[in-house]
Amino acid sequence: MEAVTDSPSDGMRKLVEGAADVLHDKVALSVSGYDISQDEYDALVRALLDEVRAAGINKAHLLRPDNNELHSEQVQSRSVFDVVAFPYRGSTGLGPTAWVPNSLPMRKRGTLKPNPRSDISMSPRLARVLLNLSGVARGETVLDPFCGSGTILAEAFIRSIRCLGLDSKSSHVRDARENLQWLIGSSVDKGYDIRVGDARELRKMLHRSKVDAVVTEPLLLPRLEARPKTRTATDLIGQASDIYGDALSSMAEVIRPGGRIVVVVPVIQTIEDEEVVLTLEGRKIGLRLFQPGPVGFQYPVRLSFESTRWVRRAVYVFESTA
């Protein structure tokens, strides 16, 4: 990764020089920008073209992706040299996309399973991102105490991670079990356990045992057909906050020392063009915000995909200090 310093050209020049061998085999270029302005994005695109041409690579052409983000299947299918741009230390970080997964099997898992619950459930893509953030490894145990239709559990299962799922609604538990059985091709439990339970009573449900990671998205807001008023959004977030807080305390009781808890929270966009965010605090219950590098994340971290027009997703990652 290179950080842009004085101008977009400075960082882009270093990036192109470092990737010269790879670039000679590419015929398409793109820039995927995250949380940067349109003017800055356009300047980076121009800088990439200028530096590639200055390096004598004249056959490459530029792709302009929708919403300034090139999807992984396009990177794969078109052999694209994709530059990722993002805010970094008060400037802009740049780095090439070095690897992308095969998204077709992941897409099938999201659309062909018996109970997709497309109105509320996250995609396998997002579930995989959250599991990566949790650091859970093959052979370890992950818990989703608001498992819904089991998307997080399914993505964990195919990585040989032991799965525990809870949900307060028996219909959700039934859906999740059927989806896991469909994925496995068998009704025999081969590495997962899904049951009805209350996320606020995990210690009791798990008989005081510990898990290696918790990854979950509580779904505690009504469906919004339009942007609400700020006051209404504040009331909705306030009603959900108590359950989130109690559930987080319960998660802290069952996570092993050093294990991570990944929780998705809602961010409501209001008619007054404001954001109302559900915030979580973990210090008093033995949790600290996970910071993987020298530059700290500002939590909750907004997710740039899988949001509706009025409710966006953001994520907290906690680490147990107990």
Question: Residues 133-144: what's their mean pLDDT?
Answer: 96
3-state DSSP assignment of residue 31: strand
Q: Are residues 80 and 228 in the same domain?
A: no
Percent residues over pLDDT 70 in the chain: 86
Q: What is the per-residue pLDDT for 142?
A: 98
| CATH code for the domain of 306 | 3.40.50.150
Q: Are residues 172 and 67 in the same domain?
A: no
Q: pTM higher than 0.85 for the full model?
A: no
Q: Are residues 76 and 110 in the same domain?
A: no
Q: How confident is residue 123, by pLDDT bands cut at 50, 70 and 90? A: confident
Q: Are residues 108 and 66 in the same domain?
A: no
117 C-beta neighbours (distance < 10 Å), count? 18
* Boundary-marking domain end, from 56, 77, 96: 96
Question: Residues 224-230: what's their mean pLDDT?
Answer: 91
pLDDT greater than 70 at residue 110: no
pLDDT greater than 50 at residue 132: yes
Q: Are residues 60 and 196 in the same domain?
A: no
What is the separation of C-alpha 204 from the centre of its chain, rounded to a whole number of angstroms? 29
Q: Are residues 29 and 120 in the same domain?
A: no
Q: Are residues 247 and 138 in the same domain?
A: yes
| Number of folded domains that form the chain | 2
Q: Are residues 184 and 92 in the same domain?
A: no
* Boundary-marking domain end, from 30, 65, 96: 96
More confident residue, 188 or 267: 267
- What the block records as the tokens of 133 is 């953030």
CA distance 144 to 239: 21
Q: Are residues 32 and 54 in the same domain?
A: yes
Q: What is the per-residue pLDDT for 1?
A: 41
190 C-beta neighbours (distance < 10 Å), count? 11
Q: Are residues 82 and 143 in the same domain?
A: no
Question: Residues 192-219: what's their mean pLDDT?
Answer: 94
User: Lowest mean pLDDT: which of 33-37, 226-230, 253-257, 270-274?
Assistant: 33-37
pLDDT greater than 90 at residue 10: no
Q: Are residues 167 and 299 in the same domain?
A: yes
More confident residue, 225 or 209: 209
Question: Residues 14-18: what's their mean pLDDT?
Answer: 85
Q: Are residues 165 and 290 in the same domain?
A: yes
pLDDT greater than 90 at residue 222: no
| CATH code for the domain of 56 | 3.30.2300
First-to-final CA distance of the chain: 34
* Boundary-marking domain end, from 96, 116, 145: 96
Host domain of residue 67: 2-96
Q: How confident is residue 235, by pLDDT bands cut at 50, 70 and 90? A: very high
